[in-house]
Amino acid sequence: MSLTFVGGSHRTVPIELRERLAFSADQAAEALARFRRQFPGSEAVLLSTCNRVELYAAAEQQQGPPPPDELALFLAECRGVDPTSAGQVLGGDQGPAAVKHLFCVAAGLDSMVLGEPQIVAQVKQAWQIAQQSGTTGPLTGELFQAALRAAKRVASETAVGRERLSIPSVAVADFASGVFERFDDKRVLLIGAGKMAAETLRYLRDAGARDVHVVNRTAGRAEQLAQRLGGTARPYNDLATELIAADLIVSTTGATEPVVTLEAFLAIEPQRQGRPLVVLDLAVPRDFDPRIGKQAGVWLYSVDDLGQACEANRQRRQREMPAALTIVDEETRRFMGDLHHRSTVPVIEQLRAGWNETGEAELDRLFRKLPDLDDAARDEIRRAFHRYAAKMLHPPMASLRSESHAGPPHGLLDALRRLFDLKE
């Protein structure tokens, strides 16, 4: 009864090779069908994301699943990659190390963006594909269930995946939401059509923003962007009017000079009648004169400001790593304990069957000698025998369970077999 994994991630495999080793859902199903034919009796789950390709295998038989080298060769053959070059970068592990690796992966601790939550869904999907392909079994079943449990614990008990890391998400959730309680009654102005505009607007829409106006030097692009983002295009000449009406501005132009100077802002500022203004200046060079941010009621954030907040969040996530790894270690120990305990089940069953068999034989003999006993008395005596057997079996079973936490209890199992004359 053992577990093996082989694979590579963004840490170990260059992107060119990772692209060639990646499996689509259909390709993963095909590969697993091939695995089933090639390694009957072994269970397997193939996890393939843009950052990693990993094959987890397990077997309950004595000889165990194929070794990591053989699995690496299998992966390379499935994707038509030169086995030598794949073998150089693919690594693997067995037993507790393999289990811990999967738990770290599922919890996002091995991800490119520490604690990213998408990996949980990808692990679930990998499990579903393997289940549909018929390569799962009790071992991988328990392993992946335990991995999802570990991921859930890490997510709920640490802040490893809590802090936001992308500039648009930090801009909206940590800053704009700090100023405004709601966005459905706010007017959003989009200046320019930079690449971060759409993503920022997506977060704003999720937060409830509905009234979006787009201003661009090229009217056609403004129309196009407004149509795509569900906003209203406004002529560039109306910029001053739009600045007066806006509550939140996202600016992403490619202009080399500030689009809104301090003087221009001060000219329209009285007409804003003291309404707070949030400006997310995501352009480089900046679209808004930084001195505008010093004005009362104006909250101006540049890419650098938001980038620093993202970095601080990243460091906070990193600080949560020890707590997350402690959880992973606990869950690994718990899983391995359960796994080792599973290996004792045949011995326990033999032991229990032996006791029951002897007990039943003794009961038959007793009942033959006491034919006057009624059914109620017989049932009572039978129950007493079973209770006695259960109590006698309890200490060895408890010892086996506690030994299982430290590793496979081979010594105890061997002793039990010899003491009670059990078969291998």
Partner 1 sequence: MADFVSRISVVCFAASYGVALAFEVTRLWFRSGVRGATMVGFVTAGLLAQTLYLVWRAATVTALPLSSAFDWYLLAAWMLAAGSLWMTLANPRTPVGLFVLPVVLGLIGAAELSSREPFPQSPATQIWGIIHGSFNLAMSVAIVLGGLAGSMWLIQAGRLARKQAPLQGFRMPSLEKLSLWSSRMAIIAAWAGGSGFLSGMVLNAVNRQRGLLETVPWNDPVVLRMGMLVVWLIAAAIISRAVVRQASGRRITAVLSLISLCLLTASILWGVFGKTRHGMPPQSSSSRLVIPARRGDA
Would you please indicate which residues are annotated as catalytic (active-site) residues?
A: 50
**Choices 220-228, 256-264, 269-277, 366-374 (CB under 8 A): range interacting with partner 1:** 269-277
Q: Does 313 bind partner 1 (CB under 8 A)?
A: yes
**Choices 45-53, 123-131, 291-299, 407-415 (CB under 8 A): range interacting with partner 1:** 291-299
**Of the two residues 141 and 276, which places its CB atom closer to partner 1 in the complex?**
276
Q: Does 208 bind partner 1 (CB under 8 A)?
A: no
**Of the two residues 233 and 298, which places its CB atom closer to partner 1 in the complex?**
298
Token pair listed for 331? 């869950």
Tell which one of 295, 343, 356, 399 touches partner 1 (CB under 8 A): 295
Q: Does 250 bind partner 1 (CB under 8 A)?
A: no
**What number of residues does the chain have?**
424
Token pair listed for 420? 């009670």
CB of 316 vs partner 1, minimal distance in Å: 7
Cα separation, 165 vs 156, whole angstroms:
18
Cα separation, 209 vs 229, whole angstroms:
12
**Choices 12-20, 298-306, 337-345, 382-390 (CB under 8 A): range interacting with partner 1:** 298-306
Tell which one of 15, 50, 118, 182 touches partner 1 (CB under 8 A): 182
Q: Does 273 bind partner 1 (CB under 8 A)?
A: yes
Q: What are phi and psi of 289, to 5 degrees?
A: -60, 125
Q: Does 324 bind partner 1 (CB under 8 A)?
A: no
CB of 195 vs partner 1, minimal distance in Å: 22
Tell which one of 10, 34, 272, 342 touches partner 1 (CB under 8 A): 272
Cα separation, 416 vs 421, whole angstroms:
8
**Helix then strand then coil, % of the chain, to nearest 5:** 60, 15, 25
In contact, 316 and 139? CB cutoff 8 Å: no
CB of 149 vs partner 1, minimal distance in Å: 15
CB of 297 vs partner 1, minimal distance in Å: 4
Q: What are phi and psi of 405, to 5 degrees?
A: -65, -30
Q: Does 163 bind partner 1 (CB under 8 A)?
A: yes
E strands of 229-369, at which residues? Answer: 232-234, 248-251, 277-281, 298-302
Cα separation, 54 vs 31, whole angstroms:
12
Q: Does 276 bind partner 1 (CB under 8 A)?
A: yes
Q: Does 305 bind partner 1 (CB under 8 A)?
A: yes
Size of the residue set binding partner 1 (CB under 8 A): 33
For tokens 């039990």, the residue is 416
In contact, 171 and 306? CB cutoff 8 Å: yes
CB of 301 vs partner 1, minimal distance in Å: 6
Concatenate the DSSP letters of all residues of 169-180 into one string: HHIIIIIIHHH-
Q: Does 274 bind partner 1 (CB under 8 A)?
A: yes
- Closest alpha carbon to 27 in 129, 134, 141, 140: 129
**Of the two residues 144 and 301, which places its CB atom closer to partner 1 in the complex?**
301
In contact, 95 and 3? CB cutoff 8 Å: yes
CB of 113 vs partner 1, minimal distance in Å: 16
**Of the two residues 183 and 355, which places its CB atom closer to partner 1 in the complex?**
183
**Of the two residues 272 and 401, which places its CB atom closer to partner 1 in the complex?**
272
Q: Does 170 bind partner 1 (CB under 8 A)?
A: yes
In contact, 157 and 320? CB cutoff 8 Å: no
Which DSSP letter does residue 184 get?
A: T
CB of 152 vs partner 1, minimal distance in Å: 11
Q: Which residues contact 196 (CB under 8 A, 6 or more apart)?
A: 167, 168, 252, 282
Residues from 130 through 159 that contact partner 1 (CB under 8 A):
156-159
CB of 158 vs partner 1, minimal distance in Å: 7
Q: How far apart are the first and last CA of the chain?
A: 15
Q: Does 261 bind partner 1 (CB under 8 A)?
A: no
Tell which one of 174, 199, 223, 329 touches partner 1 (CB under 8 A): 174
- Closest alpha carbon to 343 in 273, 416, 277, 394: 416
Q: Does 316 bind partner 1 (CB under 8 A)?
A: yes
Cα separation, 113 vs 116, whole angstroms:
6
Q: Does 225 bind partner 1 (CB under 8 A)?
A: no
**Of the two residues 274 and 395, which places its CB atom closer to partner 1 in the complex?**
274
Cα separation, 172 vs 207, whole angstroms:
8
In contact, 165 and 134? CB cutoff 8 Å: no
Q: Using CB under 8 A as the criterion, which residues of the chain lie in contact with partner 1 when the complex forms?
A: 156-159, 162-164, 170, 174-175, 177-182, 269, 272-274, 276, 295-299, 301, 305, 308-309, 312-313, 316
